[in-house]
Amino acid sequence: MSRRANLVVGLLTAALALAALGVAPMSAVGGGGSTAIGTQTVSATVPMPNSAHVDVEASGCDNSPGPYITLTGEIALGGLGVQLIFQNNVKGTHTHVEETSASVIVIPAGESLTIPKQPVLGGAGGNPFIWIQFTDSDGNAVSSEIFLGRCVQGLFAANADWIVPALATATVEGGSCDNTGSTITLSGELSLTGINANLIFRNNDNPVGGPHQNTQPTTVSIVLIPEGTSIEFPKQPPLGGVGGNPWIYLVFLNGAGEPVSERFLLGRCVQDF
């Protein structure tokens, strides 16, 4: 039996205030004091480090068909950032290129998802030895088998680290552009691929077998984080950047501020993205 976690799909708004870059004034590119820019959405599959801690409690070890296991814990994420890059020219031209950027951490490193308390009926009778192994939503192992102990010991804990892909989506929407600066809002979400755990019961503590023992394992799978779970980006304070009429690019970052995606060209500030 498993209980699926329900998490709120979140959207953020991060206002990025852009100061002057010194490129052509707005009146030279389309008239008027301000021009509304459009909306652009980009997505990228990014590597997302996971760090799990689980507590496991066993009871009813002599019951048939097996003991009762209760699992709780949390999974901490490696963090996600977004960088907006502003250039006064497209690289590769003969014109001097000036570049500035503004970055925001939208999911801090260590942001945790709580694994709800889940009672599970084990499938092996008697007093089995117990292992746990973490898998992705397709059942592929992302950790080794971690030996917890024998059922009668009652309380166990396990830790594991792995990296799985996650889908990062950002929507950039402009408010206005003029000589004094521009306003850009950023919204989006991080969609996780899902994490499961296998509880493995054996009546021998040696996984490769031992004399005179039936080592046929019994495995029970639990959904820890449902596939497609989305994480809310917290609202960010305004960040300083550049103004004028720059070309705007977006890059996703990991929790350490390192790029983990290609550089997406969104467009020029005064044009619709």
**In total, how many domains does the chain have?**
1
Instruction: Write down the pLDDT at residue 69.
Output: 87
Instruction: Look at residue 24 and tell me if it is in a domain.
Output: no
Q: How confident is the model at residue 176 (pLDDT cuts 50, 70, 90)?
A: low
pLDDT in tens, 93-102: 545 556 777 7
pLDDT band at 118 (very low <50, low <70, confident <90, very high): confident
Neighbours of 22 (CB within 10 A): 13
251 is a domain residue: yes
Q: Does residue 11 have a pLDDT over 80?
A: no
CA-CA distance, 101 to 242, in Å (whole number)? 8
Tell me, yes or no, whether 223 lies in a domain. Answer: yes
Complete DSSP assignment for 188-255: EEEEE--EEEEEEEESSS-TT--TT-----EEEEEEEE-TT-EEPPPPEEEEEEE-SS-EEEEEEEET
The single residue listed with the structure tokens 């206005």 is 176
Q: What percent of the chain has pLDDT over 70?
A: 66
Q: With a cut of 70, say whether residue 20 has pLDDT above it.
A: no
Residue range of the domain that includes 73 = 41-173+187-208+215-230+247-267
Asked, for residue 154, whether it belongs to a domain, the answer is yes
> Nearest 5°: phi and psi at 74?
-155, 160
d(CA 131, CA 119): 16
- Domain-located, residue 179: no
**Torsion angle (degrees, nearest 10) of CA 65, 70, 73, 75:** 30
> 34 lies in a domain?
no
Task: Convert the pLDDT of each residue in 120-175 to its tens digit.
Answer: 876 666 788 999 999 999 999 999 999 999 988 888 999 999 999 999 999 887 65
Flag whether 225 is in a domain. Answer: yes
d(CA 106, CA 161): 22
Domain-located, residue 241: no
Residues 162-177: b if buried by 16+ CB within 10 A, e if exposed:
bebebbbbbbbbbebb
Burial class (CB in 10 A: 0-12, 13-18, 19+), 101: middle
As a whole number, mean pLDDT of residues 73-89 equals 88
Please determine, for residue 238, whether its predicted confidence score (pLDDT) is greater than 90: no
Total Cβ atoms within 10 A of residue 143: 19
